[in-house]
Amino acid sequence: MRDPDDVLRDGLLTIGRFARLCRLSVKQLRHYDDTGLLPPARVDPATGYRYYAPGQARDALTVALLRELDVPLPVIAATLASAEPERARLLRAERDRVAERITRDRARLELLERLADGGGLPGYEITLGREPRRRLAVVRAVAGPGELAERIDGSVGRLLAALDGTPWRPPLWGLFPLDLADGMRIAVGAQSAEEADALPDGLEREVLPGGPTVETVHHGPYTQLPLAYHALMAAVHERGLRPLAPVREAYLVGPGEAPAEEWTTRLVVRVEERTEETA
Amino acid sequence: MRDPDDVLRDGLLTIGRFARLCRLSVKQLRHYDDTGLLPPARVDPATGYRYYAPGQARDALTVALLRELDVPLPVIAATLASAEPERARLLRAERDRVAERITRDRARLELLERLADGGGLPGYEITLGREPRRRLAVVRAVAGPGELAERIDGSVGRLLAALDGTPWRPPLWGLFPLDLADGMRIAVGAQSAEEADALPDGLEREVLPGGPTVETVHHGPYTQLPLAYHALMAAVHERGLRPLAPVREAYLVGPGEAPAEEWTTRLVVRVEERTEETA
DNA sequence: AATGGACCCTCCCACGGCGGGAGGGTCCAC
DNA sequence: GTGGACCCTCCCGCCGTGGGAGGGTCCATT
């Protein structure tokens, strides 16, 4: 039927040549064949040699381009296989993924700056104290991974709106679980100015028990708070103390009051009362 | 020797409790034990149970913090084991890594924006043409991965300095290999105004042969050039043509002349002359 | 002393996207 | 016919976990 030399007359390319043309490696092309992403135009049944048609260069170059943009192979496959409205949707989803990574990397960068230039991990002064019992009016929210900042922002907005006209005693408080995993249930609240206070509409009551605490104060933007928590929790555990949820943040100086470097946040973690004590 | 109950009297913690305290998973702690990064204070020889001391919380929290910053485990190990000047150096190296990733992600983001909003991959008008033979005076450079932009910037600076006082005919040209791998040898040059020209000091001669070409024009910032190359090379290969290095860029409108959206770049790839022709 | 449930152990597999290399066949030009 | 460039398949390794199988331990309650 087919003269074997047809391969060349058809203008088919060997895998090595095709790889160089499309800025892909031979390994990559074989992998894309195995996974069905980009099968060669012809595979010699006797030798297993792969031959690619020049018309496949467009797809191969698309794959190369999208790989440089760090798009996962399954998404590339879907992109090649789908038509226009869907294709744009896939690419927008990838764009969002990259945008989010940039956001998180920026926070990482700030922390690493401070870690490197601050000469390592020290620098937080830890104090042991006692907190009185506090009755707060709070707004609650659940924050998925990476959306903590916006959830807090939104909650503060709702809180201040609900507090409108009601006297309250600064600072604002933030309440967080000990476990900083995803799906965090957080709360933002304020303490009323009067002792026996009414609860404004739209807010819930949260009573914070009093007791012994371990505390520190953080100066700087909130992206650097993990450093302060690190020092705080290390201090708690080194003293053999048991932390009690929720962890409390008091926003002494916050956004709108000063540039980010001067924001001041007091971190408070209540610990179990020591009863039968030794050292 | 030791009462087994000492474990509790010593305040040692089981792996699950320690994991919750330090915001690490049990799997992670076991892995850190296996790799020697964070071995438990005590391992029961009979049962294999791991027990952690409260004093290990500081290191464990440091590991958790640095992992959130995407620092690789070997670097974390080095950080824990090394003293101050070295520790800061390691962290600065990680900071640089993150900073570079942000830079590259920003370029990716721009491309994905254009791909998604531009409705996919079309939009480049391809033309077939002929280029005359050109004699350029060039500056050469080698660009590692990710430093292409700065190498070109630097080369243009050196070129313009060396051309000072010598008449030359716009535009500037950039010459690139077909294979966009790392360790690229690139060149930036200009064509002299006179036919029989002298070579200014510090520059080298590059003669670009004439012949048939495939061309397109790109409007926009240089980070989006890969899209244009994608269309250009796809067109070359679909026509069964063989591209010939170097690929040439002519900077018709460039930085300093207009905002980035209006930069105009002509991309030219010379192809093999067709002799024995069919279709 | 038994039971049950929460906890712990080890070992293996999987992910993504290749690169490296072993061991062996094929192509093609000289 | 011969050598060297090219191609094939298969397997391992990376990195840092998560998932799960299959089985032991701990401890509080009955």
Write out pLDDT tens, residues B146-192: 677 888 999 999 999 988 888 888 899 999 887 665 557 889 999 98
Highest mean pLDDT, choosing among A130-134, A238-242, B80-84:
A130-134
Instruction: Using CB atoms, pick whichever of B69, B226, B240 lies closest to residue A108.
Output: B69
Tokens of B234: 């796809």
A231-245, B87-101, B231-245 — most confident range: B87-101
Residue A244: strand pairing partners: A270
Q: Is the pLDDT of residue A55 over 50?
A: yes
Q: Is the CB of A17 under 7 A from strand D?
A: yes
Cβ count near A238 (within 10 Å): 15
**DSSP labels for B63-124?**
HHHHHHTT--HHHHHHHHHS-HHHHHHHHHHHHHHHHHHHHHHHHHHHHHHHHHHTTSS--P
Residue A242 has pLDDT above 90, yes or no: no
Interface check for B21 against chain A (CB to CB < 8 A): the answer is yes
Q: CB-based contact (8 Å) between A237 and chain B?
A: yes
Asked if B213 CB < 7 A from strand D, the reply is: no
Q: Is the CB of A48 under 7 A from strand D?
A: yes
Asked if A67 CB < 7 A from strand C, the reply is: yes
Average pLDDT in the B254-278 region?
82
**Does pLDDT of A5 surpass 60?**
no
Residue among B99, B119, B181 whose CB faces A88 most closely:
B119
pLDDT at position B10 is: 63
Smallest CA-to-CA distance from A203 within A183, A222, A188, A224 is with: A188
Give the closest of A68, A94, A238 to B226, CB-based: A68
**Span CA (A14) to C1' (D2), Å:** 23
* pTM of the complete model: 0.77
Q: Which residues from the 61-90 window of protein chain B have CB within 7 angstroms of nucleic acid chain D?
A: 67, 72-74
Q: CA-CA distance, B231 to B234, in Å (whole number)?
A: 5
What pLDDT is stored for residue A3 in this prediction? 39
Q: Is the CB of B219 under 7 A from strand D?
A: no
CA–CA distance, A227 with A111 (Å, rounded to integer)? 7
Where is pLDDT greater, at B182 or A14? A14
Asked if the C-beta of B53 comes within 8 angstroms of chain A's C-beta atoms, the answer is: no
Say which nucleotide is closest to residue A67, CA to C1' distance: C17
pLDDT value at residue A190: 93
| B279 bridge partner residues | none
Contact B233 A21 (CB under 8 A): yes
Q: Look at A122-126, A171-175, B135-139 and tell me which has the smallest mean pLDDT.
A: A122-126
User: What residues in A contact B238, CB-CB < 8 Å?
Assistant: 54-55, 57-58
Inter-chain touch B65–A119, beta carbons under 8 Å? no
Q: Do A54 and B226 touch (CB under 8 A)?
A: no
A101 → closest Cβ in B94, B105, B236: B105
Strand D contacted by A30 CB (< 7 A): yes
pLDDT of B195 > 60? The answer is yes
Interface test with B, best of A17, A114, A178, A230 (most B CBs within 10 A): A230
Q: Which of A147-151, A218-222, B13-17, B158-162 has the lowest mean pLDDT?
A: A147-151
B269 has which bridge partners?
B214
pLDDT tens per residue, range B154-164: 999 999 998 88
How far is A62 from B227, CA to CA, in rounded Å? 9
**Cβ contacts of B16 within 8 Å, gap of 6 or more:** B26
Mean predicted lDDT score pLDDT of chain B: 86
Query: In the predicted model, is pLDDT for residue A240 greater than 70?
Result: yes
Q: Is B43 on the interface with A (CB under 8 A)?
A: no
The pLDDT of residue B2: 38
Lowest mean pLDDT among A20-24, B57-61, B138-142, B144-148: B144-148
pLDDT of residue B253: 94
From the Cβ of A6, is strand C under 7 Å away? no
Q: What is the pLDDT of residues A85-116, one digit of tens each?
A: 888 899 999 999 999 999 999 999 988 988 88
Please say if the pLDDT value at position B106 is more than 50.
Answer: yes
Q: Which of A253-267, B84-98, B231-245 shows the lowest mean pLDDT across its residues? A: B231-245
Q: If you average pLDDT over every residue of chain A, what do you get?
A: 86
- For B70, nearest residue in chain A (alpha carbons): A108
What pLDDT is stored for residue A279 in this prediction?
A: 33
Strand partners, B113: none
Task: Name the closest residue (CA) to the C1' of nucleotide C8.
Answer: B49
